[in-house]
Amino acid sequence: MPKQNLVVKLISMPDNLLDVIYTACRTCYSADGAVEIIDNITDDKEKKLSLIKKVISSGHYSTIEHIQLSFAINNISRAATHQLVRHRHMSFSQKSQRYVREKGEFDYIVPPAIEANKELYAKFEQHMIETATLYQELIQSGIKGEDARAILPNATTSSMVASLNLRELIHLANLRLCTRAQLEIRMLVKKMCALVEEREPWLSEHLVPKCERLGYCDEDNSCGRMKTKNG
Ligand SMILES: Cc1cc2nc3c(=O)[nH]c(=O)nc-3n(C[C@H](O)[C@H](O)[C@H](O)COP(=O)(O)OP(=O)(O)OC[C@H]3O[C@@H](n4cnc5c(N)ncnc54)[C@H](O)[C@@H]3O)c2cc1C
């Protein structure tokens, strides 16, 4: 059965991201209207960045909600997508298990911790083969895909388009880049952030695990990267 590798592609991100945020920031504090501000926008990138950084660090986050980002994601487990869809400020379009029937041996993601254990990995593979056989039997007996999917595992591979604004990406990074987050979603968010940082390197200081933002670790079981709240 195929072993899948997570693929993430940035579908869209505004080319004039700095102009949008700068205009939003200046509109709040300038005598000029938003139209005059965008019509006379400066070419001085450092000037724009300086104001934007100041406004973000003050917690004035509505200014970065205007930046919409969309990603295409392949080869991700349903276990990971189930965690991702808990983020309520994101939008999703996900491969349906009702209308897209898994053909024969379905694809699945093998968690590295299971793959590393030869004996357990063999049992895991066997379980997937048996699941695929039963799935096919159900489909061939006329059971609808929407019911037959009941036996598909959390490891089943999925695909989705996910969109979110920049404020939510920072929040997502803060939660899911934490080493306490599950590995697969951590890798996903890492790839999403890397794609955004490639275009806007200044964002790397915001696309960090929450401990870097807080200055301490608020987890019960700290990984030791940062001191805990109580030292
Ligand atoms: C390490 C880890 C372990 C987890 N384990 C579990 C688990 O065992 N069981 C479980 O059920 N979930 C679990 N979760 C999911 C978690 O409870 C959240 O549902 C998920 O992380 C989304 O976070 P969020 O609500 O902050 O983000 P979003 O939904 O993206 O919302 C962003 C922010 O908007 C605000 N907001 C959004 N909606 C509301 C609202 N209705 N009311 C008020 N403010 C709102 C909040 O400030 C929120 O932080 C886990 C998450 C992590 C990171």
Q: Domain map of the chain by residue range?
A: 11-72+159-214, 100-155
Write the DSSP string, 9-31. Answer: EEEE--TTHHHHHHHHHHHHH-S
- Find out whether the beta carbon of 65 lies less than 6 Å from any atom of ligand 1: no
Q: Which stretches does DSSP call E strand in 40-172? A: 68-77, 91-94, 157-165
| pTM of the entire predicted model | 0.94
- Chain segment 106-133, per-residue pLDDT in tens: 899 999 999 999 999 999 999 999 999 9
State in Å: Cα 83 to ligand 1 middle. 10
The number of helix segments (H) and strand segments (E) in the chain equals: 10, 4
pLDDT of residue 1: 46
State in Å: Cα 20 to ligand 1 middle. 28
Respond yes or no: is residue 176 known to be catalytic. yes
- Chain segment 143-167, per-residue pLDDT in tens: 998 999 999 999 999 999 999 999 9
What residue owns the CA closest to ligand 1's atom 16?
86
